Amino acid sequence: MLKHLDDVFHALADPSRRQMVERLGRGPATVSELARPLSISLPAVVQHLQVLQSSGLVQSRKTGRVRMCQLNRDVLDDAESWFAAQRRQWIKRLDNLGEFLDSSDDE
CATH number at residue 89: 1.10.10.10
Given a cut of 80, is residue 105 above it in pLDDT? no
Number of compact structural domains in the chain: 1
Radius of gyration of the chain (CA): 20
Mean pLDDT value across residues 97-102: 86
What mean pLDDT, rounded, does the chain reach? 92
Given a cut of 80, is residue 28 above it in pLDDT? yes
Given a cut of 70, is residue 106 above it in pLDDT? no
Residues 6+ apart with CB under 8 A from 3: none
Mean pLDDT value across residues 76-105: 88
pLDDT number for residue 1: 58
Residues 19, 52: Cα–Cα separation, whole Å: 12
- Whether this prediction's pTM lies above 0.75 is answered by yes
* Domain hosting residue 28, numbered range: 2-106
